[in-house]
A and B are shown apart, each in its own frame.
Chain A
Amino acid sequence: MKPLALFIIIPLATAFLIALLGRRIKNLGDVLTNMAGAGLFILACSIIPGVISHKVLTYKTGNWPVILGSSFIVDGLSMLLLVVINLVCCLVMVYSLSYMEKYTDKWNYQALFMLMIAGLNGVILSADIFTLYVFLELASIAGYVLVAFSTEAEALEASFRYTIIGSLASVCILLGIALLYSFTSTLNMADISLIIASRSQQGQLLNFVSVLFLAGFGMKAALVPFHAWLPDAHSSAPSPVSATLSGVVIKTLGVYSLIRIFFNVIGTSSNLLNCLVILGLASMIAGAFLAIAQNDIKRMFAYSSISQVGYIIFALGIGTPLAVLGGLFHLLNHAVFKSLLFLNAGAIERVAGTRDLTKLKGLAEKLPLTSSTALFGSMSISGVPPFAGFWSKLIIIIAAIEAGHPIFALIAALVSIVTLVYYLKFQAGVFFGALPSAFANIKEAPLTMKMPMVVLAVLSVAGGLLLLPCCREFLQSAVKAVLS
């Protein structure tokens, strides 16, 4: 299958061209990135039928056999993430057209962004564990630079912290890969899992490797003991970057890699699943309560990301097919509504010049579109019925009760109410009340910024339709890939 390589070739080539010519040709970056974004999304949609009917698509680099070369593989889980990543990136590229005007070197931003997309797609596609590491680093390094893109003091500080913690996480992952290689003498993931399953004496090495991977990918996913970098990095970055970081990067680098390594390669044990449940619950609770206290809207959304990723990890830790379905569905929904909310925050910051809840007030009449899309996002993430977020949280809670954890289910439901509380605080603070005279002359954001917000708002309602019998196969094939 040729198209699989295109997922990496297109963004890399675009990044190269923009870095080379962007300074000289004025609108080259705008045109190329939007074409690449749209093309990648169409490509991601076009592989869905193939994956659903064939289960697995493979691309062999240079026609080497799968075990020797670094091949690309797409199964149900990768397909789900490819669609999510390329959807969010495509919309964010449209949004950046006018949002990034305020920076002088927009082409650098576009080149770095394309490198990050190449890294994300590569992580999803790679069939061997070291290629996964290389692409993970590519996405992370582009992420470190993008966080510091505004070169304001806070952004630099946040980016430095992110760089140090992110590199430490990568070192843990690399050490894990080294130990796993010494144990199995292969880097191919399918091969590693076969060899591990065939050894009867496993000893303590696999436990140590599990701890290394849990720490490494946990840092990348910002689970609670390792979350310190996330609120700084996600709130100081430019808004389109925050939308991508919160929407897809932590999920791809953290959650996806965690699922791939533990469910498909090393294999799960009851201890590991308990660990995931505890980490998930801790992230859920701590993220939600820290979010209430924030007055900076982007910082509040960043803590909320920690809390929602906690739901996904919690669902995976329960480990029944229904729970995994809920977790993956929540992953998809969270990517949609969290990027929507960050784009809203960007629109608010652009027109009002501040993100402080105590200074903002009554913007609903001046920004009708931003306020209504933000309402969609907030209601969906807090789990209010008809919105997509309600269905995924409902599935997770039902799965927790079925698996015999009624107390955990109760906690998940209560955290959902806390989520509603801080999103109401956001709504009340920004959009309701009398408009201060300072904001009397502000105007709604331009069309290129409105369009992505409207699309994401529609998706945050329509996402629930994926549970209908005709579309369910999309999620079911991902669940089968996780649990096979």
Chain B
Amino acid sequence: MSEYFLCLILFCTGLYCILRKRNIIKIIVGLAIIEYSVNLFLILIGYRFKGRAPIFALGQEIPNMVDPLPQAVVLTTIVIGLAVIVVAVALSVRIYSKYKTFDITKIRRLRG
């Protein structure tokens, strides 16, 4: 049970970073944290108590195995998350060269 609470705390930390931090690098870190918390949650869903990896061998029976599907899903979401972070970091580099600041409250040319 405590794992789920830790996962929730991680999620809230990420959300706090995105909503409250002014530095855009910290916002991107918050995004990474929130993505990892959801990945962790997916892994927890697939876990069975004292479960084993679902790898079959000849003449062997595994009575209690973890669900492999969430693990496959998490591998994909990690790659997607990486792509998003790369885009965000590349954008922040270009933003810095245009605005000379990482402060999100000063990056405000669009209005209305």
List chain A positions with a Cβ less than 8 A from chain B.
130, 134, 137, 141, 144-145, 148, 151-154, 156-160, 163-164, 167-168, 170-171, 174-175, 178, 181-182, 187, 231-232, 236, 290, 293-294, 296, 299
Contact = CB atoms under 8 A, between A and B. Distances in A.
B89 to A, nearest CB: 10
B38 A156 contact: no
A144 B108 CA distance: 18
Given A145-B87, A157-B110, A171-B34, 12 more contacts: A130-B76, A153-B109, A154-B109, A156-B91, A157-B107, A158-B110, A160-B92, A168-B18, A168-B31, A170-B80, A174-B38, A181-B70
Contacts of B107: 157, 160
Contacts of B94: 148, 151, 156
Contacts of A144: 84, 87, 91
Given A144-B87, A163-B84, A175-B38, A236 B110 contact: yes
B88 A160 contact: yes
Q: Give the size category of B's interface with A.
A: 20 to 34
B45 to A, nearest CB: 5
Query: SS class of chain B's interface: helix, strand, loop or mixed?
Result: helix
B65 interface: no
B107 to A, nearest CB: 5
Contacts of A152: 98
Given A157-B95, A163-B88, A164-B88, A231 B27 contact: no
B112 interface: yes
Contacts of B92: 160
A415 B24 CA distance: 38
Contacts of B70: 178, 181
B42 interface: yes
18 contacts: A134-B76, A145-B87, A148-B91, A153-B99, A153-B109, A154-B110, A157-B99, A157-B108, A158-B110, A160-B95, A160-B107, A163-B88, A164-B31, A168-B18, A168-B31, A175-B38, A178-B38, A236-B110
A81 to B, nearest CB: 23
Contact of B87 (A141, A168, A187, A290): A141
Contacts of A153: 95, 98-99, 109
A134 B80 contact: yes
A418 B91 CA distance: 37
Interface string B77-109: 100100110011001101100110000000111
B84 A167 contact: yes
Closest 5 CB pairs of A and B: A153-B98, A182-B45, A137-B80, A232-B110, A156-B95
Given A158-B110, A164-B31, A293-B112, A130 B41 contact: no
Nearest to B107: A157
B69 A187 contact: yes
Given A141-B87, A160-B24, A163-B84, A294 B112 contact: yes
Contacts of B34: 168, 171
Contacts of B45: 178, 181-182
B109 A171 contact: no
Contacts of A148: 91, 94
A157 B111 CA distance: 11
A296 B18 CA distance: 30
Given A134-B80, A144-B87, A156 B110 contact: no
A465 B36 CA distance: 50
B18 A164 contact: yes
Q: With a 10 A CB-CB cut-off, give which of A153, A231, A232 has the most chain B CB atoms.
A: A153
Contact of A174 (B77, B95, B98, B110): B77
B4 to A, nearest CB: 11
A144 B76 CA distance: 19
B60 to A, nearest CB: 23
